[in-house]
Chains A and B, each alone.
Chain A
Amino acid sequence: MRRIYVKEDVCIGCRLCEIYCIVQHSKSKNIIKAFRDEPRPLPGVIVEEKGPISFALQCRHCDDAPCVESCITGAMQRMEDGRIICDIDRCVGCWTCIMVCPYGAIRMDQNRKVASKCDLCIGEDIPVCVKNCPNEALMYEE
């Protein structure tokens, strides 16, 4: 399965990955509208930063995924192609997944009271964070 890998030595902390993730998961997919007019989704990628070190962190889509196992409603599920998504219609916001995730890659969407995470951009060949990283710090590879 292809996953997103990060090269932290060339991550420049610009956070364009977060911005494009928000746009991709917005209603209009228009960058200006998404930020100004619509309820803004949480980015599925978070740039962690300390001093000169930074890197983008997304869900690792683990083979042995604690979030899927611990989900009390079955909202957190593995798709056929291996990626893990959260079905927000079934998510009740119990945050168990957030507690068990070893990477801290799942966030609380306080507006909708559901878990929010990277879905590897359903429908896209390459996730938008990878495609738009200006310094090729993100790779999408087997």
Chain B
Amino acid sequence: MLTLCKGEFSVERDDDRCIRCLVCVRQCPFDVHKYDEEEDRIYSDESKCVGCQRCATLCPTDAITIRYEPMEMKENANWKTYHLTNIYKQAETGGVLLTGMGNDKPYPIYWDHILLNASQVTNPSIDPLREPMELRTYLGRKPDLLDIEDGDELILKTEISPQLKLELPVMFSAMSYGAISLNAVKSLARAAAIAGTYYNTGEGGLHKDLYKYGKNTIVQCASGRFGISPDYLNAGSAIEIKIGQGAKPGIGGHLPGEKVLEEISETRMIAEGTDALSPAPHHDIYSIEDLRQLIFALKETTAYEKPVGVKIAAVHNSAAISSGMVRAGADFIVLDGLRGGTGAAPLVTRDNVGIPIELALASVDQRLREEGIRNKTSLIVAGGIRSSSDVIKAIALGADAVYIGTAALVALGCHLCQKCYTGKCAWGIATQDPYLTKRLNPEIGTRRLVNLLKAWSNEMKELIGGMGINAIESLRGNRLQLRGVGLTDTEYRILGILPAGE
């Protein structure tokens, strides 16, 4: 069948600069570039180009420019190129359209409508280069009050639940070994260990080489239960039950059998070459009381020594669900917003299901406070955190910490070409092809992630110091440090912030 979908990119090669070194030919996993020896010339098949920029980045003479030049359809206000090409693809294949990474549609991004405060005259701003500035955060259930006996020495009579210590309120989101390469997971694990934070195994189990990073690991328990054993559960510092994911609320996961190679098979505890299918729900959790049973089963397995949290996709009634999760015993809850990423999701789900994380966060934090149970849990948000200022805004809205997934992958070299689901990631991140996974040197990956966290940490210190605050807990839920621009009254009410000028 003639395909009506043309490539989206043009490949421009400056022939004055091209030295026929063939780096582009060797680097492109999509076989865009081909060398013709007879003519001593490189031909590029633009229809295959995904815009990952690998060739342009590695070209030693800067001879290649990749431009986004989709076919110019006759669009109208209703029918966009997006709709037309999707229909062409479906008419040609009859399949559910797949995509990778997070929702890229122009839904409101509330971070970009929120501005931060700074101190002037009446309250000194604090210079983080000269004064201590604290980002350390403890995640876990806190009691309402402490029982401390005064005497010659203070006696603490309250034992508090296990806590996770974060040197900065940023962790790496759940990304499974399988969805991403072992080198990518190693980079995340080592960076978390160096920076004093945590990475999350996702539902891919824990590769034997990664047990040594257990202190900085949150192990996930998802609906497929891949790789779960008492050893696995006890290997990390916390356990996260994954109910849903921001990129694809309401559906499970699918790791195709061709990616289930020997080591993944061993790690996930499934036969080599079989599809790893995660059901949409946990089939032992059809209601909140079932969740409570799983939470306590996991706590029993780990002798109540580790916080057990629950992750959900941000959906319409997140606030009520969160309240239930806290009462069911979740020591931390994770909200994953509309813009959260994924290795593979049906396009229609990714682009249309869920709610923006900012609104979910604001309403959950407020609801838990109204019910007087906010201290019983820690609130972690994920899905679309792009910068240190997004982190600061999230914390001021009420989050204890954030998870970054896409941002971490971008630090590792991801160019957001959204082709993770093909398994051909040119940057060696979302692939298991041994020829490609080598491209991510975990030593470099670690360094890049540590640098990112260091840069964000310094920026966050500048921002809170400017507000006259020297400890992150004084920002947490402090919505008076936020002002909105260009929002509706309803949005101001839900976010619990004032418009700029008020």
- Contact between A19 and B21 (Cβ–Cβ < 8 Å)? yes
**B444, A136: Cβ atoms under 8 Å?**
yes
Beta-carbon contacts under 8 Å, A88-141 to B: 132, 134-137
Q: A31-B19, A36-B19, A52-B433 are in contact. Are A16 and B441 (CB under 8 A)?
A: no
Interface contacts (Cβ under 8 Å), in number, total 56
Task: State which of A4-12, A63-71, A73-81 sits at the interface with chain B.
Answer: A4-12
Structural contact, B60 and A19, CB atoms closer than 8 A: yes
Flag if A136 contacts B441 (CB, 8 Å): yes
User: Does residue B27 face the partner (Cβ distance < 8 Å to A)?
Assistant: yes
How far apart sit A16 and B22, CA to CA, in the bound complex (Å)?
A: 9
Contact in complex: A16, B58 (CB < 8 Å): yes
A3 at the interface (CB under 8 A from B): no
Q: Are A136 and B443 in contact (CB under 8 A)?
A: yes
Q: Say yes or no: B26 contacts A52, CB within 8 Å.
A: no
Least Cβ–Cβ distance between A46 and chain B, in angstroms: 15
B444 touching A12, Cβ below 8 Å: no
Task: Find the A residue at minimum CB distance from B59.
Answer: A16
Judged by DSSP, the binding face of A is loop
- Asked whether any CB of chain A lies closer than 8 Å to the CB of B369, the reply is no
Count of chain A residues with Cβ under 8 Å from any Cβ of B? 22
A137 in contact with B17 given A14-B26, A51-B435, A52-B434 (CB within 8 Å): no
Task: Establish whether residues B441 and A35, one from each chain, have CB atoms under 8 Å apart when the complex forms.
Answer: no
Q: Which residues of A contact B270 (CB under 8 A)?
A: none
Given A32-B17, A35-B21, A135-B438, are A13 and B58 neighbors across the interface (CB < 8 Å)? Answer: no
CA distance A26 to B441 in the complex (A): 30
0/1 per residue, B37-69, Cβ < 8 Å to A? 000000000000000000000101100000000
Q: Which residue of A lies closest to B16 (CB)?
A: A32
Q: How far is the CA of A9 from the CA of B439 in the complex (A)?
A: 9
B58 and A14 contacting across the interface, CB-CB below 8 Å: yes
B2-27 at interface with A (beta carbon < 8 Å) = 16-17, 19-23, 26-27
Chain B residues at the A interface, C-beta cutoff of 8 Å: 16-17, 19-23, 26-27, 58, 60-61, 428, 433-435, 438-439, 441, 443-444
A-B contact pairs, 19 of them (CB 8 A): A9-B438, A10-B443, A11-B438, A12-B428, A12-B439, A14-B23, A14-B26, A14-B27, A14-B58, A15-B21, A16-B23, A19-B19, A19-B23, A32-B19, A35-B19, A51-B435, A52-B435, A135-B439, A137-B441
